[in-house]
Chain A
Amino acid sequence: MRNAFAQQITSLGEQDPRVVLLSGDIGNRLFDEFKATCPGRFYNCGVAEANMIGVAAGLAMNGLRPVCYTIAPFVTYRCMEQIRVDVCYHDVPVTIVGTGAGLAYASLGATHHSCEEMGMLRLLPGMSVLAPADEWEVRAAVKAALRHPHPVYIRLGKKGEPVIHTAEPEFRIGKAIPMRAGDAVCLLAAGTVLPMAILAADILGQRNVSTAVYSVHSIKPVDTELMAAVFARFKLVATIEEHSVLGGLGGAIAEWAAELPSPRPPHLRFGTGDAFLHETCEQEEARAHFGLTAAAIADRISRSLAS
């Protein structure tokens, strides 16, 4: 994903002289091509994220299109107030890109996990929150963010994620992408857990449960038109994300659905819990720890349908 980001931002920087890339002292060599193609428009801001966000706001206020890139928890939690005041309050087009989001850096410990950042950023007025699922969605999300005249946050995995799309999908902020048709259960997946959702749909299909899957890359604004159709049509809705069940996609959908008239289908939220992960482990084990496996998802859905 991060390579796709680097390639896409290089190509956009080549086309648009307003694009400026700020990095928080990561991506050694990742941006060599950007630096060569867009001289004078790459700045390593050091390990100083609060300043990086303020600098980005100052660039954006003066007609440029800055993109801030570093590890997800540092470019969000660490500088939350700068994002709120400098970027969102002034409503300037700063794109914030958090790499290694969710549990991608599971082995580095909870300092490097970001399972709360979508919820935090989603609360900020004017901020869009995007979680692309694969490298094609990353490219599309970066393009959409730089066309968008307001703040955008994009969370990335790290590298080597499975490629799901075969070409760049039609991508609009606030519009989910249909992946699988179905009519009993609807799986709404945000980000790199999309393959897990597709696999869970396969398992449910084998149990004769017709299951639809959407890539809900846009956590804010959420695709309310689709949600209205989903909650009207399906027997069960499930959200899946590598993020806390509080505040992220599950939270956003639950908030939206709260005002629906009864009866409405149950909504199961799959994500990380309201807890730090203290276990030493890799991403797959970390996901399993929180019940984020295709089998666990399918089983819980089957149990819910049976009850």
Chain B
Amino acid sequence: MSALPEPVVISSAELQRLSRKIRYKLIEMSHRSGAPHLGSAMSCTDILVAAYFGGVVQIDPKQPQDPQRDRFILSKGHAASALYVTLAERGFFPREWLETFATHGSPLAEQPAPNCAPGVELATGSLGHGLPVGVGAALAARIQKRDYRVFVVMSDGECNEGSVWEAAMFAPACRLERLCVVVDYNKWQATGRSNDVMSLAPLVRKWEAFGWSASEVDGHDVAALAAKMSRVPDGTGQPVAIIAHTVKGKGVSFMEDDNNWHYRIPKAEEVAAARKELGVE
């Protein structure tokens, strides 16, 4: 790992300010492009900030293909805007690219295409793909004697997919202790409460029962998230599952826990109100 620069770590107050700035950018981008899934993007923003600014993901934005880099896969591709803004903030590509989001010819589609932009590891959008591919990436590290880690962020609705649980059974059998799943557990999926649609709970015990070192965390406490995600491998010899309790639409009072924002596009006055609430200049 000596080739990699020291991970970026900034103060807790700075992290919070960055999260607010990113959330505002997401709202602006959704308003301008008409792209939905704003609630989902705002739900996982703090997880992304913890990963890229909390000293977790070891990667050099100038060398996004470095074979030794940590792999970070946002499996919930519908929240891609949050990944794009985070990567731009971290210097993977110019912030100006964000202005083209979801417009004709942009590298940044509503859901990412293969190799669409530096730092985007996987084309996602269809759910339940990120974990199996992440397991493959972690297995590749084992075979090639590399010590990078693999982080996969999934949504709770995504845990409906059978392929998630196939991968969840396989990874511990391979003792992939450098693999970490973070479930963005905002308790909603597209059209209903995730615990009404499917019998999802108890998520921590489910992952534990599948052979993972599982725990839960406040998914909006960036420092706590970063601390947990940094402890991969955690010494148990098992892959790590972090169930992050989150709020869909987090950060803006009239969006929080309101599932209409899975598809709704904010109007100009809502963008202005959100800006005020988020305290963005």
* B135 lies within 8 A of chain A by Cβ: yes
Among A54, A63, A81, contact of B133 (Cβ-Cβ < 8 Å): A54
Output the nearest chain A residue to B162 by Cβ-Cβ distance: A50
How far is it, in angstroms, between the C-alpha of A66 and the C-alpha of B135 when the chains are bound? 13
How far is it, in angstroms, between the C-alpha of A167 and the C-alpha of B122 when the chains are bound? 43
Q: How far is the CB of B72 from chain A (nearest CB, A)?
A: 13
How far is it, in angstroms, between the C-alpha of A48 and the C-alpha of B174 when the chains are bound? 14
* A86 lies within 8 A of chain B by Cβ: yes
* A64 lies within 8 A of chain B by Cβ: yes
1/0 per residue, CB under 8 A from A, across B131-142: the answer is 111111111111
Contact B140 A53 (CB under 8 A): no
Interface residues in A15-35 by Cβ distance below 8 A to B read 20
Q: How far is the CB of A49 from chain B (nearest CB, A)?
A: 8
Known interface pairs A48-B166, A91-B114. Does A58 touch B143 (Cβ–Cβ under 8 Å)?
Answer: no
* B237 lies within 8 A of chain A by Cβ: no
**Which of B133, B138, B142, B169 has the largest number of chain A CB atoms within 10 A?**
B133
* A55 lies within 8 A of chain B by Cβ: yes
Among A55, A61, A66, contact of B170 (Cβ-Cβ < 8 Å): A55
* A57 lies within 8 A of chain B by Cβ: yes
Q: How far is the CB of B53 from chain A (nearest CB, A)?
A: 25
Known interface pairs A43-B174, A45-B170, A51-B166. Does A86 touch B140 (Cβ–Cβ under 8 Å)?
Answer: no
Contact A51 B163 (CB under 8 A): yes
Among B114, B139, B143, B174, contact of A90 (Cβ-Cβ < 8 Å): B114
Residues on B with beta carbons closer than 8 Å to the beta carbon of A63: 67, 140, 144
Contact A46 B143 (CB under 8 A): no
Output the nearest chain A residue to B135 by Cβ-Cβ distance: A55
Q: How far is the CB of B145 from chain A (nearest CB, A)?
A: 10
Known interface pairs A48-B166, A62-B144. Does A56 touch B123 (Cβ–Cβ under 8 Å)?
Answer: no
Contact A62 B126 (CB under 8 A): no
Known interface pairs A57-B136, A85-B129. Does A62 touch B141 (Cβ–Cβ under 8 Å)?
Answer: yes
Among A41, A43, A62, contact of B137 (Cβ-Cβ < 8 Å): A62
Output the nearest chain B residue to A62 by Cβ-Cβ distance: B140
Say what secondary structure dominates the interface of chain B: helix
Q: How far is the CB of B115 from chain A (nearest CB, A)?
A: 8
How far is it, in angstroms, between the C-alpha of A244 and the C-alpha of B133 when the chains are bound? 32
How far is it, in angstroms, between the C-alpha of A48 and the C-alpha of B67 when the chains are bound? 28
Contact A53 B132 (CB under 8 A): yes
Residues on B with beta carbons closer than 8 Å to the beta carbon of A89: 114, 123
Contact A86 B169 (CB under 8 A): no
Contact A48 B135 (CB under 8 A): no
Contact A58 B123 (CB under 8 A): no
Interface residues in B202-220 by Cβ distance below 8 A to A read none
Q: How far is the CB of A88 from chain B (nearest CB, A)?
A: 10
Contact A86 B143 (CB under 8 A): no
How far is it, in angstroms, between the C-alpha of A51 and the C-alpha of B136 when the chains are bound? 9
How far is it, in angstroms, between the C-alpha of A86 and the C-alpha of B163 when the chains are bound? 12
How far is it, in angstroms, between the C-alpha of A82 and the C-alpha of B163 when the chains are bound? 9
Contact A59 B129 (CB under 8 A): no
Interface size class of A (residues with CB under 8 A): 20 to 34
Contact B129 A54 (CB under 8 A): yes
Q: How far is the CB of B123 from chain A (nearest CB, A)?
A: 6
Residues on B with beta carbons closer than 8 Å to the beta carbon of A261: none
Contact B140 A59 (CB under 8 A): yes
Contact B137 A61 (CB under 8 A): yes
Output the nearest chain B residue to A57 by Cβ-Cβ distance: B133
* B167 lies within 8 A of chain A by Cβ: yes
Contact B123 A43 (CB under 8 A): no
Interface residues in A66-99 by Cβ distance below 8 A to B read 66, 81-82, 85-86, 89-91
Among A20, A50, A66, contact of B132 (Cβ-Cβ < 8 Å): A50
Contact A58 B134 (CB under 8 A): yes
* A40 lies within 8 A of chain B by Cβ: yes
Contact A64 B143 (CB under 8 A): yes
Among A46, A56, A66, contact of B169 (Cβ-Cβ < 8 Å): A46
Among A55, A81, A90, A91, contact of B126 (Cβ-Cβ < 8 Å): A81
Known interface pairs A82-B129, A89-B123. Does A55 touch B139 (Cβ–Cβ under 8 Å)?
Answer: yes
Residues on B with beta carbons closer than 8 Å to the beta carbon of A53: 132
Q: How far is the CB of A207 from chain B (nearest CB, A)?
A: 54
How far is it, in angstroms, between the C-alpha of A172 and the C-alpha of B138 when the chains are bound? 34
Contact B132 A90 (CB under 8 A): no
Residues on B with beta carbons closer than 8 Å to the beta carbon of A43: 139, 174
Interface residues in B151-174 by Cβ distance below 8 A to A read 162-163, 166-167, 169-170, 173-174
Q: What are 29 sample pairs from A and B whose C-beta atoms fall under 8 A apart?
A: A20-B139, A20-B143, A46-B173, A51-B135, A51-B163, A51-B170, A53-B132, A54-B133, A55-B135, A57-B133, A58-B134, A58-B135, A58-B136, A58-B139, A59-B136, A61-B121, A61-B137, A63-B140, A64-B140, A64-B143, A66-B136, A81-B126, A82-B129, A85-B126, A86-B132, A86-B133, A89-B114, A90-B123, A91-B114
